[in-house]
Amino acid sequence: MSASGLRGTGTGASRVLGGLAAAGLLWVVVFGLVLSPPDAVQGEYVRYLYLHVPAAWLAYLSFGITALASGLYLWRRTRSLGWDRLAGASAEIGVFFTGLCLLTGSLWGKKTWGTYWAWDARLTTTALLFLLFLGYLALRRIPALPEVRAKRAAIAGLVAFIDVPIVHKSVEWWRTLHQPATVKVEDAEIDGLMLFSLFVGVVAFTLLFAWLLLHRTRVAWLEDEVEARGLDLAIAERLAEGRAVDAAATEGPEVRA
């Protein structure tokens, strides 16, 4: 592998960010599994929430970035394929963390509610969010000119984002099995160390998200660049073939014995 290949999409700053994210995740394990006390009602299962809540936060954040970048792409003054790449990268990471949110939530639900899944408003709207953005990613994979792909993906991203506030408000709008927000700005109904563990989880996952987003956006740039270079090469080959055929025709047919 060449030095360029080994370097990949990393830079000095991204390595520092990656190191911070890794250290943060280690702290999540330490606080989540060791330092944080068991809950009076949920017992040890409360520890799932130090993964579940940060994953849910990242789902909101990533789809929010997708919507913002989509809007910036659609606005003529700021139109750039860079926004499209950022939107796609953030959506992919968002789908990943929404999946993790559903996974950790269902593990927690099995132990506390007695079931992995219930057709509850929060769970159902979250599953819908997951499917909407999976559809968004599938739409991006349909072959098209970069500008065409970017425009339709931007519209789809904005439409899919409508589900995010619905997910967030679902516990207030409907009677749900899922508990309402535990951490509120004015009054947190949670033990100090548990709250801090949750905070550590949110910070660590956000650092991880920033690192992943940086690299995924650069990978998207590389994908577009490799595709463009491949197309240029194919066009050059076809032109060379065409010139060879023209030259052969100009020289006239060979007389064979």
Binding site for another protein (CB under 8 A): 1-2, 4-11, 25, 29, 32-35, 37-38, 43-45, 47-48, 51, 96, 100, 103-104, 107, 111, 208, 212, 215-216, 218-219, 221-223, 225-226, 229
Gap between the Cα atoms of 56 and 48, Å rounded:
12
Gap between the Cα atoms of 120 and 103, Å rounded:
15
Kindly state the smallest distance separating residue 192's Cβ from another protein, in Å: 17
Q: How many CB atoms lie within 10 A of CB 34?
A: 9
Q: Give the nearer residue to another protein in terms of CB position, either 81 or 166.
A: 81
Q: Give the nearer residue to another protein in terms of CB position, either 35 or 181.
A: 35
What tokens appear for 157 in the block?
């991203």
Kindly state the smallest distance separating residue 239's Cβ from another protein, in Å: 22
Q: Give the nearer residue to another protein in terms of CB position, either 48 or 130.
A: 48
Neighbour-count burial of 20, counting CB atoms closer than 10 A to its CB (0-12 exposed, 13-18 middle, 19+ buried): middle
Distances (CA, A) of 82 to 70, 96, 99, 170: 10, 21, 26, 33
Q: Give the nearer residue to another protein in terms of CB position, either 100 or 121.
A: 100
Mapped onto helix, strand or coil, the DSSP state of residue 39 is: strand
Kindly state the smallest distance separating residue 77's Cβ from another protein, in Å: 21
Kindly state the smallest distance separating residue 256's Cβ from another protein, in Å: 44
